Amino acid sequence: MRVLHFFKTALPDTMGGVEQVIHQVCHASRNYGVESHVLVLSPDPIPEIVDMGTYKVHRVQENFNIASTGFSFQAFSKFKDLAADSDIVNFHFPWPFMDMIHFASRHNKPSVVSYHSDIVNQKNLLKLYRPLQNKFLQSANHIITSSPNYLASSEVLIQFKDKTSIIPIGVDRATYPVASPALLAKWERAVGGPFFLFIGVLRYYKGLHTLLDALEHTGYPLVIVGSGPKEQELKAQAQRLQLKHVHFLGRVSDNDKVALLQLSTAVVFPSHLRSEAFGITLIEGAMYGKPLISCEIGTGTTFINIANETGLVVPPEDPMALREALRYLWENPDAASVMGAKSFARFNKLFTGEKMVEAYMGVYRKLYRD
């Protein structure tokens, strides 16, 4: 079976939640006899094909970008060629340009839509896009979303619930490196003791402005891993609040990320908008047995993190509630340890890469047979 994944970006160009899902599905489905190809846009598509070991990424030139939507003239012909050689096309939503390609190519192959998020930030443009969006989702053979929370709370998805499956995102610990004792010691020296950890692209919906406000006058150390469009704004805020224990590390290697996960006291994930449909960082924290802090936004974040069981859940954009959650885990290490153990157990039950790929393969096989 040959599957084509289509999204605006992927590894190795960028690292985000959707990119990790594509990587995990492509990598693990190889064990089921699937040949995976990924088509993406890139500002610098050289080389045009990147061999990721278990799958290939095909890159075409991004010609321009409007409202976070990339466009490419070359993508029309490239998608048509790759789809012709594929048995199934797996689209990753949202990306309006993708909908245009789908209809323009007339590929006639069974299609799966991995629905990662509602469109939240571009409300005015959404009014113009909505007819195309609904036509695109109606045309898909099957839709996948990552949590029952998101299906129940999405005004878009609920219209297509009869052909929507819930497949929680999972990660495969075997694909993560093992942090050496020397690396762990290096980061212990660099950070200087226990700390809270955030990992992610520094985007508008991550809620980091609230987290920095929550840290004011506390002295709690925070390590922020990742870069993004809000980086300079957040650094200025931290400086204004005189947060001397906040470390902005930028993007780090996988080895460093694993070391920081292992050393952290808890993983904090303060995303405050529905653009955060799931939260792979929360899964990674659970995989390493860490208590979690997240916000109740009606999405998968509170499908992963169960309040007062695997961690603490607070209202979005509430610095005082977030500060109290930080205080509780900092001052109650035994309770934090119990939550971390429950977090690890929930990971093994629901969020392993093997479980996710098995479920995806069930969808692929049904479409392939039909």
Q: Which tokens belong to 261? A: 């996960």
Helix (H) or strand (E) holding 190: helix 181-191
Q: Which tokens belong to 135? A: 């036509």
Domain check: are 14 and 83 in the same one? yes
Tell me: the pLDDT tens digits for 152-173? 999 999 999 999 999 999 999 9
Q: What share of the chain is helix, strand, coil (3-state, %, to 5)?
A: 45, 20, 35
Kindly indicate the confidence band of residue 265, based on its pLDDT and cuts at 50, 70 and 90.
very high
Q: What CA–CA distance (Å, rounded) separates 151 from 134?
A: 16
Does 360 have pLDDT greater than 90? yes
Domain check: are 254 and 152 in the same one? no
Mean pLDDT along residues 252-269: 97
Domain check: are 363 and 311 in the same one? no
Specify the pLDDT at position 259.
98
Q: What CA–CA distance (Å, rounded) separates 13 from 251?
A: 13
Domain check: are 249 and 269 in the same one? yes
Domain check: are 157 and 236 in the same one? no
Low-confidence winner among 53-67, 93-107, 122-136 (lowest mean pLDDT):
122-136
Kindly indicate the confidence band of residue 125, based on its pLDDT and cuts at 50, 70 and 90.
confident
Domain check: are 309 and 358 in the same one? no
Interacting residues of 197 by C-beta distance below 8 A, sequence separation 6+: 222, 223, 225, 260, 261, 264, 265, 266, 267, 268, 285, 290
Determine the structural domain holding residue 61 and report its residue range: 2-172+352-369
Domains held by the chain: number: 2
Low-confidence winner among 18-22, 136-140, 366-370 (lowest mean pLDDT):
366-370
Domain check: are 54 and 190 in the same one? no
Domain check: are 240 and 357 in the same one? no
Domain check: are 149 and 185 in the same one? no
Q: Which tokens belong to 47? A: 């080389």
Tell me: the pLDDT tens digits for 11-54? 999 888 899 999 999 999 999 999 999 999 999 999 999 999 99
Straight-line distance from the first to the last Cα atom of the chain, in angstroms, rounded to the nearest whole number: 13
Q: What CA–CA distance (Å, rounded) separates 303 from 14?
A: 26
Specify the pLDDT at position 370.
76
Specify the pLDDT at position 276.
92
Return the CATH number at 88. Answer: 3.40.50.2000
Q: Which tokens belong to 131? A: 């007819």
The 10 Å Cβ neighbour count of residue 253 is: 10
Q: Which tokens belong to 209? A: 């402005």
- State the chain's mean pLDDT as an integer: 95
Q: Which tokens belong to 240? A: 């204004």
Specify the pLDDT at position 254.
94
Coil, helix or strand at residue 24: helix
Amino acid making up residue 102: H
Domain check: are 93 and 66 in the same one? yes
Does 90 have pLDDT greater than 90? yes
Mean pLDDT along residues 226-251: 96
Domain check: are 178 and 167 in the same one? no
Low-confidence winner among 14-23, 262-271, 346-355 (lowest mean pLDDT):
14-23
Tell me: the pLDDT tens digits for 295-307? 999 999 999 999 9
Percentage of the chain surpassing pLDDT 70?
Answer: 99
Tell me: the pLDDT tens digits for 213-229? 999 999 999 999 999 99
Domain check: are 103 and 179 in the same one? no
